Amino acid sequence: MTETKEKKSELEFNKNEDANKQLLTKLKQKREAVYLGGGKDKIAKHHEKGKMTARERVAYLIDKNSHFLEIGTFAGDEMYAEHGGCPSGGVVTGLGYIKDRLCVIVANDATVKAGAWFPITGKKNLRAQEIAMENRLPIIYLVDSAGVYLPMQDEIFPDKEHFGRIFRNNAIMSSSGIIQISAIMGSCVAGGAYLPIMSDEAMIVEGTGSIFLAGSYLVKAAIGENIDNETLGGATTQCEISGVTDYKCKNDKDCLDRIKNIIDKIGENPKAGFSRAKTQDPKFDESELYGIIPKMRTDQYDMYEVIKRLVDNSELEEYKEGFGKSIICGLARIDGWAVGIVANQRKVVKSKKAKCSLAVLFILTRQIKLHALL
């Protein structure tokens, strides 16, 4: 390469690096705004009631120094603006370790419209349940919800993949022996009340948790009876009279500690059988990805350079290297896990053959995870 080409290449690398780092900064700022849910004022009111926020509950529940893999952080982004928005779909979902056991966690964010269910909220919950069912993982519901967002109820209930399917999934998981644990840590009203009742075990926080199909105001309107929410469906009523819930808890932390104790005493399920070895860092600097990937996604770049900075020891066992060069396929390890990689080569290559279907079949017959880089 001539000196002029080297300088041009270095300049292009620096431009890409600056552009991609700026994009990442904007994404992080946007994520921090989403993390505030309904805003700082709503969080402060939440704390005044002695309640933790959804993300605080998740952080306390998972093992110390472990990572919570959040799913759907930006769900609901720029949706329902006429209704005040719905950050993160009004619910936090993801995977985390509790007592060294991988679990799916679903936590209603009551700072967003009192945790009411928008259409996107239902979709996030369904996706979390699907992950639990497909991988036979325990699922924890941290319930704090006013129920369905009534102005949009016509978009939440009617279809097969809508809100009602959650209860169908509850039944399937129960019959399949997939553990479901619910913690009623705030309001649990109307349709949202079925989910904890259909779980294997349910606990409720004294003073803040309540569960009923209709609250005290509706009771007053319907039959003229004056009753407070705690008497109608609070911890004492549901634990000692109706038997709907199984455990009465003093506060949020006591409730979350009880979940940890229950998870600690669950037997092991058969493993998926994926291969894992000792993790090795890539030989090439991962931070160079900022400069390798162009700021314009239509521009060319070498996917091999990306793979070298992703896989352990930068080693790829390539399948059909000289055939169908527009597709890169092979075996590698990422964080010690054996994976199959199928990637588009993003620079122009001369190739008259395609091997994508062969590549996928090659990987799926090896009991390893498939990673696609497009």
Domain hosting 84: range is 36-263
Please state, in angstroms and as integers, the Cα–Cα distance from residue 53 to each residue in 3, 142, 172, 315, following that order: 57, 10, 30, 43
In sequence order, the β-bridge partners of residue 359 are none
Structure tokens at 184: 């009623």
Question: Considering only 63-77, 103-117, 344-358, which range has the smallest mean pLDDT?
Answer: 344-358
Q: How far apart are CA 149 and CA 114, in angstroms?
A: 10
Please state, in angstroms and as integers, the Cα–Cα distance from residue 107 to each residue in 12, 90, 119, 256, following that order: 44, 9, 16, 12
Shared-domain flag, residues 255 and 293: no
State the alpha helices, DSSP H only, in 177-295.
194-197, 216-223, 229-233, 235-236, 252-263, 289-292
Q: Is residue 231 part of a domain?
A: yes
CA 238 to chain centre: 30
Where on the phi/psi map is residue 64: left (φ > 0), alpha (ψ -120 to 50), or beta? beta
Shared-domain flag, residues 40 and 181: yes
Q: Is residue 252 part of a domain?
A: yes
Q: How far apart are CA 120 and CA 364, in angstroms?
A: 32
For residue 2, pLDDT over 70 is answered with no
Choosing from 263, 295, 322, the residue where a domain stops is 263
Stretch 297-323: mean pLDDT, rounded?
93
Name the helix (H) or strand (E) containing 369. Answer: strand 369-373
Shared-domain flag, residues 72 and 197: yes
Stretch 222-229: mean pLDDT, rounded?
89
Q: Is residue 276 part of a domain?
A: no
Q: Is residue 63 part of a domain?
A: yes
pLDDT at 6: 67
Bridge pairing between strands 91-98 and 139-145? unpaired
Shared-domain flag, residues 223 and 290: no
For residue 363, pLDDT over 80 is answered with no
Where does the pLDDT of residue 256 fall: very low under 50, low under 70, confident under 90, or very high at 90 and above?
very high
pLDDT at 193: 83
pLDDT at 31: 96
Shared-domain flag, residues 241 and 360: no
Residue 94 buriedness (CB in 10 A; 0-12 / 13-18 / 19+): buried
pLDDT at 354: 64
Shared-domain flag, residues 251 and 329: no
Shared-domain flag, residues 153 and 256: yes
Stretch 34-48: mean pLDDT, rounded?
94
Question: Considering only 200-209, 219-228, 328-337, which range has the smallest mean pLDDT?
Answer: 219-228
Bridge pairing between strands 180-189 and 201-205? parallel
Where does the pLDDT of residue 1 fall: very low under 50, low under 70, confident under 90, or very high at 90 and above?
low
Shared-domain flag, residues 49 and 177: yes
Task: Write the DSSP string, 84-140.
Answer: T--GGGGEEEEEEEETTEEEEEEEE-TTTGGG-B-HHHHHHHHHHHHHHHHHT--EE
Q: Is residue 197 part of a domain?
A: yes
C-alpha triplet 250, 255, 256: angle, nearest 5°: 145
CB count in 10 Å sphere of residue 263: 19
Q: Which residues of 282-317 are buried (b: 16+ CB within 10 A; e: fewer)?
A: bebeeebbbbbbbeeeeeebebebbbbbbbbebebe
Stretch 146-150: mean pLDDT, rounded?
86
Please state, in angstroms and as integers, the Cα–Cα distance from residue 198 to each residue in 133, 178, 186, 203, following that order: 15, 12, 17, 12
Question: Considering only 187-191, 213-217, 340-344, 367-371, which range has the smallest mean pLDDT?
Answer: 367-371
pLDDT at 189: 84
Shared-domain flag, residues 188 and 330: no
Where does the pLDDT of residue 63 fall: very low under 50, low under 70, confident under 90, or very high at 90 and above?
very high
pLDDT at 351: 64
Choosing from 211, 229, 263, the residue where a domain stops is 263
Stretch 100-112: mean pLDDT, rounded?
96
Q: How far apart are CA 374 and CA 372, in angstroms?
A: 6
Count CA atoms closer than 13 A to 291's CA, side-chain side: 12
Shared-domain flag, residues 144 and 219: yes
Shared-domain flag, residues 167 and 128: yes
Shared-domain flag, residues 214 and 296: no
For residue 102, pLDDT over 80 is answered with yes
The fraction of the chain above a pLDDT of 90, given in percent, is 68
pLDDT at 312: 97
pLDDT mean across residues, the chain: 90
- Total number of domains constituting the chain: 2
**Residue carrying the six token digits 């009617």:** 158
The number of residues in the chain equals: 374
Task: Write the DSSP string, 306-367.
Answer: HHHTTSGGG--EESSTTSSTTEEEEEEEETTEEEEEEEE--S--------HHHHHHHHHTTT
Q: Is residue 89 part of a domain?
A: yes
Choosing from 263, 278, 302, the residue where a domain stops is 263
Where does the pLDDT of residue 284 fall: very low under 50, low under 70, confident under 90, or very high at 90 and above?
very high
Stretch 158-163: mean pLDDT, rounded?
78
Where does the pLDDT of residue 55 fall: very low under 50, low under 70, confident under 90, or very high at 90 and above?
very high
Q: Is residue 3 part of a domain?
A: no
CATH number of the domain encompassing residue 359: 3.90.226.10
pLDDT at 197: 87
Q: How far apart are CA 356 and CA 361, in angstroms?
A: 9
Q: Is residue 155 part of a domain?
A: yes
